[in-house]
């Protein structure tokens, strides 16, 4: 158990989600075990008794997440409601408990995967292990980050940035990671063997996670070799793809795609109808934030932007499309593939960024970083322009 605890401690710290104090991790197997002592364990142990769970993470998030999450929680009515894709499909909303008590927390966790306690931190749980709790913890931080910056831009446009919001914003931007940089190179094509394809996918996936271009380890990646698309499995860790890549024949002659990424239909459409072979999909934050910034007034599709936006939109020259995961009438496979042609990437509203390449993952990875950095610069340019005209 100690090895498992150390692994998740390292992952949470390395990803910039917690620190400097290590997280408190609990796991119930034959008995309840903890990674360290803490006076809050008494209340947390009572939560295990009230819920059918076997894993729990409790921690103050690291900056800038700490300031963001405390502010959102303190100014909420007990529920934070981000509008990004991860929240809609995975979290629904972010509940808040204004008191640290086992009964209050347990009552919330019976219906949700997380609870935020202002000034104390985030509690997440899992029914089959710490992996679930880790993913939820990361998603809470991601969704809160996106909501905070989306809200600030919206309030700035309306000239409604109060002193408290501005103080938190200034503190948050002082604690942001620097823009992503990468001066190396990935495996060069042609990737003309199954072995090279697997190695290239694993390398690109690992680097995408290491450069924090995803939410937790989510995202997907694929490469077409011959008449087969090799794609990461659904729910797999992009930095741990050694045994999590599925070969999917383009003619549909295998049942392997059952375990493939849920965005397989989109990947298939891209490689079958364009000359791209490599596809990389991540969730870089500022790309997601700016995808949700829309000035079109009185739009009939408002609140349904993620399903079917009738307007042509772009940011930093990159098209923004709507769409959901899967193969339904509003799915990404109907919007993303066409938009990839002639563009270095495609941003999906509130979701993430797709980039493609013809021979290997060098271009997709480079464009993922470049587009995210351009979106970050554009975000702060918009804030500055509002300040210069006296609106913000």
Give the pLDDT confidence of 83-103 residue by residue, as tens digits: 887 777 777 899 999 999 999
Task: Look at strands 220-225 and 313-315 and give their pairing.
Answer: unpaired
250 has pLDDT over 70? yes
Contact between 136 and 93 under an 8 Å Cβ cutoff? The reply is no
Other residues' Cβ atoms within 10 Å of the Cβ of residue 175:
13
What end-to-end distance do the CA atoms of the chain give, in Å?
51
Tell me what pLDDT residue 307 has: 61
Q: Which of 174-178, 234-238, 281-285 has the lowest mean pLDDT?
A: 234-238
The structure's pTM equals 0.94
- Closest by alpha carbon to 371, among 345, 339, 348, 350? 345
Give the angle 324-329-333 at the CA atoms, nearest 5°.
55
CATH 3.40.225.10 in the chain is located at 2-174, 194-383
* Distance, CA of 246 to CA of 60 (rounded, Å): 37
State the Cα torsion 183-63-82-382 to the nearest 10°: -60
Other residues' Cβ atoms within 10 Å of the Cβ of residue 225:
18
Mean pLDDT within 329-334: 83
Give the angle 268-272-326 at the CA atoms, nearest 5°.
25
Tell me what pLDDT residue 302 has: 66
- In the chain, DSSP finds a helix count (H) and a strand count (E) of 12, 15
**Domain spanning 194-383: CATH 3.40.225.10:** yes
Tell me what pLDDT residue 391 has: 60
* Distance, CA of 392 to CA of 385 (rounded, Å): 9
- Closest by alpha carbon to 260, among 335, 332, 325? 325
Beta strand segments in 262-348, E:
278-282, 313-315, 318-321, 346-348
Q: 284: which residues sit within 8 A by CB, 6+ positions away?
A: 180, 213, 214, 352, 353, 368, 371, 372, 375
Indicate the average pLDDT of the chain: 91
Within its chain, how far is the Cα of 119 from the centroid? 24
Task: Look at strands 346-348 and 318-321 and give their pairing.
Answer: parallel
For the ranges 1-10, 255-264, 272-281, the one whose mean pLDDT is highest: 272-281
Both tokens of residue 335? 């919007």
Tell me what pLDDT residue 42 has: 92
36 vs 217, which has greater pLDDT? 36
Both tokens of residue 14? 């390395």
* pLDDT-above-70 percentage for the chain: 94
Both tokens of residue 148? 């905070």
Within its chain, how far is the Cα of 17 from the centroid? 12
- Quick check: helix, strand or coil at residue 319? strand
* Distance, CA of 246 to CA of 220 (rounded, Å): 12
Other residues' Cβ atoms within 10 Å of the Cβ of residue 164:
11
172 has pLDDT over 70? yes
- Closest by alpha carbon to 216, among 125, 129, 122, 137? 137
* Distance, CA of 32 to CA of 349 (rounded, Å): 42
Fold topology of 2-174 = L-fuculose-1-phosphate Aldolase (3.40.225)
Task: Look at strands 32-34 and 24-28 and give their pairing.
Answer: antiparallel
Alpha-carbon torsion (269, 274, 276, 279), positive or negative: negative
* Distance, CA of 266 to CA of 61 (rounded, Å): 34
Other residues' Cβ atoms within 10 Å of the Cβ of residue 343:
17
- Closest by alpha carbon to 352, among 232, 221, 181? 221
- Closest by alpha carbon to 316, among 347, 350, 361? 347
Contact between 278 and 225 under an 8 Å Cβ cutoff? The reply is no
Both tokens of residue 155? 């309030």
């Amino acid at each position: 158990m100690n090895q498992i605890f150390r692994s998740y401690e390292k992952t949470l710290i390395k990803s910039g989600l917690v620190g400097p104090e290590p997280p408190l991790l609990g796991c119930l197997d034959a008995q309840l075990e903890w990674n360290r002592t803490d006076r809050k364990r008494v209340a947390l142990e009572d939560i295990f008794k009230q819920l059918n769970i076997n894993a729990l993470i409790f921690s103050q998030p690291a900056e800038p997440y700490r300031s963001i999450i405390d502010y959102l929680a303190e100014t909420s009515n007990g529920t934070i409601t981000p509008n990004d894709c991860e929240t809609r499909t995975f979290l629904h909303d972010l509940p808040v408990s204004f008191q640290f008590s086992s009964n209050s927390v347990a009552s919330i966790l019976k219906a949700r995967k997380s609870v935020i306690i202002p000034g104390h931190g985030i509690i997440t749980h899992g029914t089959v292990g710490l992996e679930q709790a880790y993913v939820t913890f990361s998603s809470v931080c991601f969704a809160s980050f996106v909501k905070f910056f989306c809200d600030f831009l919206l309030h700035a446009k309306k000239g409604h940035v109060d002193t408290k919001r501005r103080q938190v914003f200034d503190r948050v931007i002082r604690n942001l990671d620097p823009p992503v940089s990468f001066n190396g190179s990935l495996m060069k094509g042609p990737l003309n063997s199954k072995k090279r394809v697997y190695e290239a996918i694993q390398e690109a996936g690992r680097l995408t996670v290491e450069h924090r271009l995803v939410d937790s380890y989510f995202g997907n990646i694929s490469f077409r070799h011959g008449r087969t698309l090799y794609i990461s499995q659904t729910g797999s860790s992009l930095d741990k793809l050694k045994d999590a890549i599925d070969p999917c024949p383009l003619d549909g002659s295998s049942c392997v795609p059952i375990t493939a990424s849920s965005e397989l239909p989109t990947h298939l459409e891209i490689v079958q109808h364009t000359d791209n072979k490599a596809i990389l999909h991540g969730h870089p934050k500022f790309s997601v934030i700016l995808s949700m910034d829309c000035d079109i007034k009185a739009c009939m599709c408002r609140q349904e932007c993620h399903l079917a936006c009738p307007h042509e939109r772009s940011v930093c020259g990159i098209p923004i499309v709507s769409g959901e995961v899967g193969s339904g009438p509003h799915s990404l496979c109907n919007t993303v593939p066409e938009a990839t042609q002639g563009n270095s990437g495609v941003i999906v509203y509130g979701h993430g960024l797709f980039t493609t390449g013809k021979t290997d993952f060098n271009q997709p990875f480079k464009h993922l970083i470049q587009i995210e950095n351009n979106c970050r610069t554009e975000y702060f340019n918009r804030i500055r322009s509002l300040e210069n005209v006296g609106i913000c």
